[in-house]
Amino acid sequence: MTTTLIIFLTWAIVKALKAAKISGRYLPLIALLVGIVLSVIISVFIQDDNLILNLLVGCWSGFASTGMNKSANKSINTIVATVGNLITKGK
Q: What is the pLDDT of residues 28-57, one digit of tens each?
A: 888 888 888 988 888 888 877 777 888 888
Q: By C-alpha distance, which of 72, 1, 85 is closest to 42? A: 1
CB 73 within 8 A of CB 53: no
- As a whole-number percent, the residues of the chain with pLDDT over 90 amount to 0
**pTM of the predicted model, to two decimals?**
0.62
72 SS3 class: helix
- Vertex 45, ends 62 and 4: CA angle to 5°? 40
Directed axis angle between helix 2-19 and helix 27-45, to 10°?
Answer: 150
What local confidence, expressed as pLDDT, does residue 56 receive? 84
Residue at 82: amino acid letter: T
What local confidence, expressed as pLDDT, does residue 72 receive? 63
Q: What is the mean pLDDT of the chain?
A: 79
If you compute the radius of gyration of the chain from its CA atoms, what whole number of angstroms results?
Answer: 16
